[in-house]
Amino acid sequence: MNTNVRLALLIILATLIWLASGLFANEEQSNSNQPSLSLTKVSLGHFTVQKFVPQLRVNSHTKPNRVVNLRAQVAGSVVSVPGQRGSVVDKHQSICVIEAKERPQQQQQAKAKLEQAQIAYKGALQLETAGYQSNLAIAQAKANLEIAKLELTRSQNDIENLNIKAPFTAIIEDRPIEVGDFLTVGQLCATLVELSPIKIVAEVSESDVVNLQIGDIALALFDDYLPKNAIISYIAHQANPTTRSFRVEAVVENTELELRAGISGQLQLQLATVKAHLIPASLILLDAEGDMMVRAVNQVKLVTQFKVEVLGEAENGLWVNGLPSTINLITVGQNYVSQGEAVETYLPHSNP
């Protein structure tokens, strides 16, 4: 190879090296001009599981503890109506009084018949001892005695039933008769309602009824009345065929008769104690499926998220379940990060 060819090859090689060095330099300069990626800063809160008593609120209404229709046991004209409609009557207080007519005389006659039957039966026994009385005659005398006793009892009951009385302290809701009306046997004298105690009636779902027991403490809430302490007195064993819910009744003391029957409200029931976390409501987010969730940071500072269920409300947050016993939740910046993202964290805050 001559000198000119060698010189040409050297020039070409040098040119290639120079061009290549320029490309690497531009690449390094381009990389140096790109800004470095920074981590999103988030603030954490440390939360620990606690004991929580869930409160179940269901719609309710008040109902009389008892409703009784007082009906006539004997026929007769009404001579007095001491019980006025809408008034409070005490136990054994008269509501309607029926005319006695000849009933006192009938009672005296029944007493005389009983005395006569007693004497006849006693004499029959004495004659039997002496051997002058048959067993048939003695049986007849005894039967007459029992009939006389029954007639006297009936007569006494008729006189007692002339005065129709309240069987318990109650309110006269209706009294359709007046003085001078004639009552037949079985005809209505008055309708009484007992409002102390008063019932609170509600319906709960099949998933909640299993957590209730008779005797549990409850709270009756109303829009226009103060809350009242209640005690569960009845839990249905058969579901409503339409709603598939179960009837629950609670009783409330109502000595001042402040509550009337038919008032709408809510019955707040205490369910079994569970473990849950109390967190600020602002931490709750919705995932792609529309479920509630929260975001947290694990030990290697990666974002994780957990679906939660709200169990109840408190003044300073929400009670939720679905979280580990202890967890660091993102309290600031949770809307700007996603699951699996590395983040920079502030110092954790304590429980709210």
In the structure, what pLDDT confidence band is assigned to residue 352 with cuts at 50, 70 and 90?
very low
Tokens for 81, please give them.
Answer: 């109506």
Do 161 and 177 reside in the same domain of the chain? Answer: yes
pLDDT given for residue 123 in this prediction: 83
Do 165 and 84 lie in one domain? The reply is yes
Domain-located, residue 7? no
Domain-located, residue 29: no
Residue 343 has pLDDT above 90, yes or no: yes
164 has a pLDDT exceeding 50: yes
3-class secondary-structure state, position 290: coil
pLDDT, position 5: 54
> Among 156, 188, 220, which residue terminates a domain?
188
The pLDDT score that the predictor gives to residue 133 is 64
pLDDT digits (tens, 9 = 90+) for 272-317: 889 999 999 999 999 888 899 999 999 999 999 999 999 888 888 9
Q: Rounded to whole angstroms, how far apart are CA atoms 201 and 199?
A: 6
Can you give the pLDDT at residue 37?
62
User: Among 75-79, 124-128, 197-201, where is mean pLDDT lowest?
Assistant: 124-128
Q: Which amino acid is at 189?
A: C
The more confidently predicted of residues 300 and 350 is 300
pLDDT tens-digit readout, 46-101: 999 999 988 889 999 999 999 999 999 999 999 999 989 999 999 999 999 999 99
Share of the chain above pLDDT 70, in %: 86
Residue 19 lies in a domain: no
Q: Does residue 177 lie in a domain region?
A: yes
Q: For the domain that residue 215 is a member of, what is the CATH number?
A: 2.40.30.170
- Both tokens of 245, joined, read 């819910």
What is the overall mean pLDDT for the chain? 88
Last residue within a domain, chosen from 235, 270, 305? 270
- Domain membership of residue 281 as a residue range: 42-52+274-345
Percent of the chain whose predicted confidence (pLDDT) is above 90: 72
* Domain membership flag for residue 9: no
13 band by pLDDT with thresholds 50, 70 and 90: low
Name every residue whose Cβ is closer than 8 Å to that of residue 303 and which is 6 or more positions away in sequence: 295, 296, 297, 330, 337, 338, 339, 340, 341, 342, 343
Q: Is the pLDDT of residue 4 over 70?
A: no
206 lies in the same domain as 253? yes
Contacts of 336 (CB under 8 A, 6+ apart): 40, 42
User: Nearest CA to 53 among 219, 225, 200?
Assistant: 219
Contact 326, 39 (CB under 8 A): no
| Contacts of 264 by beta carbon, 8 Å cutoff, 6+ apart | 59, 60, 61, 222, 223
Q: What does the angle CA 171 – CA 172 – CA 178 come to, to the nearest 5 degrees?
A: 160
Examine residue 15 and state whether it is found in any structural domain, yes or no.
Answer: no
- Averaged pLDDT, 143-157: 93
- Confidence (pLDDT) at 6: 59
Would you say residue 18 has pLDDT above 60? no
User: Where does the pLDDT of residue 34 fall: very low under 50, low under 70, confident under 90, or very high at 90 and above?
Assistant: very low
Q: Are 40 and 341 in contact (CB under 8 A)?
A: yes
What's the pLDDT score for residue 351? Answer: 46
Residue 351, domain member (yes or no): no
Asked if 181 and 199 sit in the same domain, the reply is no
Domains in the chain: how many in total? 3
- Are 74 and 183 contained in the same domain? yes
Residue 1 domain-assigned? no
Indicate whether 24 pLDDT > 50.
Answer: no
**Residue 310: CATH number of its domain:** 2.40.420.20
Q: What's the pLDDT tens digit per position in 216-275?
A: 999 999 999 999 999 999 999 999 999 999 999 999 999 999 999 999 999 999 888 899
Cα separations in angstroms, 338 against 286, 294, 325: 12, 11, 22
* 3 has pLDDT over 60: no
Instruction: Indicate the SS3 state at residue 306.
Output: strand
Q: Are residues 213 and 319 in the same domain?
A: no
The per-residue pLDDT for 241 is: 93
Backbone angles phi, psi at 249, to 5 degrees: -120, 140
Same domain, 93 and 114: yes
Claim to verify: residue 77 and residue 181 sit in the same structural domain: yes
Residue 31, pLDDT > 70, answer no
Residue 348 clears pLDDT 60, i.e. is over it: no
pLDDT band per the 50, 70, 90 thresholds, residue 10:
low
**Residues 133, 82 share a domain:** yes
Least-confidence region, from 13-27, 120-134, 216-230: 13-27
